[in-house]
Amino acid sequence: MNPPFQRPLRFELEYARELNRLLANFLVFPSSANMQEINQRMTEYKAMAEFLEQFADTLATSMITQLANRNAISWRQAATQASQGKTIYQMLKQEIAGDKELYLHRLIAENATYIKTLPSSIAELVSQHIQREQMAGLRSSEIIKTLPGAVHRLKRFEIERLARTEVAKADTAITRVRSESLGLAWYQWETANDARVRQAHRYMDAVLVAWNDPPAPEALIGMKSEGHYNAGNIYNCRCVALPLVTLSQVSWPARVYFQGRISRLTQYKFALMSSLPLQLSS
């Protein structure tokens, strides 16, 4: 079965492109700049939050709204595979009347805050780069020559990190609030299934997880814990949370995260353990 919920890659790319367009003309140093002028410009760059206010609100509103609309399409597709399809359609109709508006406003405000901190984050990375070069014994003139390329790479790194992380987090949050409004307490963790998937997330692939009991994936494989979180809810995560709308979407027996460990359960044992209604299996 091809799951209707997919990683929102198109929105990541659009989001990153808009951020790049805004920041392209900032933190650009003239060839005649000295280290004092560079430090002054970085200080000014860090203080751009007020300037970004309107842009951040506009971009965040656009991104969250588009994500919510795309997510609704995924739910409509899921409804065709679930016995409670009519209930899902009814939920989406109620949302059109504004039932989720306050929640989306909260997501927008959080996202706008992250956008406004982006210049400060980039300036801090540039400062760290300069300090490392100085400690390596390079003269200021040598550092300044290579600085444009370094700034470009650091901008790109930070923008892509923000776009990937925040779009994924918002998408997971919208999926979760719709799942819980339907009484769907579980989802299936799905990775991007490529060589870039981190080891801890590869271990979580296809695992069933309760929204209110997120795992600590790193700790489960003996690594230093990054804390407890759901799929898509940590930096640079490309994983997707697939709401469990029907037990038939799972290959049984399945791996299930419960009470701090992963166990392999049959469909019957999972239904008993999770107190799911029997009609969910149809």
Task: Note whether 74 and 111 are same-domain residues.
Answer: yes
- Residue 195 shares a structural domain with residue 144: no
Query: Is 175 found in the same domain as 94?
Result: yes
Residue 4 within a domain: no
CA nearest to 78, candidates 188, 169, 210, 201: 188
* pLDDT in the model for residue 1: 42
- Indicate the residue among 150, 181, 212 that finishes a domain: 181
Assigned domain for 22 exists: yes
- Residue spans of the chain under pLDDT 70: 1-3, 30-31, 81-85, 93-100, 276-282
Residue-number span of the structural domain to which 59 is assigned:
9-181
Cα(247)–Cα(252) distance, rounded to whole angstroms?
Answer: 9
Report the pLDDT value the prediction gives residue 83, as an integer from 0 to 100: 61
Sign of CA dihedral 164, 167, 169, 171: negative
Question: Is the same domain home to 260 and 152?
Answer: no
Q: Looking at residue 281, what is its pLDDT?
A: 44
The pTM assigned to this predicted structure is 0.85
Domain boundary among 149, 181, 213: 181
* 32 in the same domain as 145: yes
Instruction: Give yes or no: residues 80 and 175 share one domain.
Output: yes
Determine, yes or no, domain membership for 65: yes
For 115, other C-beta atoms within 10 Å of its C-beta total: 24
Domains identified in the chain, total number: 2
Among residues 208, 209, 227, which one has the least CA distance to residue 217? 227
Residues ≥6 apart with Cβ < 8 Å to 191: 197, 201, 202, 204, 205, 238, 239
Q: Give yes or no: residues 244 and 208 share one domain.
A: yes
Task: Please indicate, yes or no, whether residues 109 and 203 belong to a single structural domain of this protein.
Answer: no
User: Residues 264, 270, 274, 277: what is their CA dihedral angle, to the nearest 10 degrees?
Assistant: 160
Final residue of a domain: which of 151, 181, 211? Answer: 181
Tell me if 36 is assigned to some domain.
yes
Please tell me whether residues 118 and 231 are part of one structural domain. Answer: no
Residue 193 lies in a domain: yes
pLDDT, position 82: 64
**Does residue 190 belong to any structural domain of this protein?**
yes
Q: Are residues 195 and 125 in the same domain?
A: no
Looking at the domain assignment, is residue 2 inside a domain?
no
d(CA 139, CA 141): 5
137 within some domain: yes
Which of 109, 214, 196 minimizes the C-alpha distance to 160?
196
Say if residue 74 is in the same domain as residue 157: yes
Q: Where are the beta strands (DSSP E) in 51-197?
A: 186-190
Same domain, 95 and 206: no
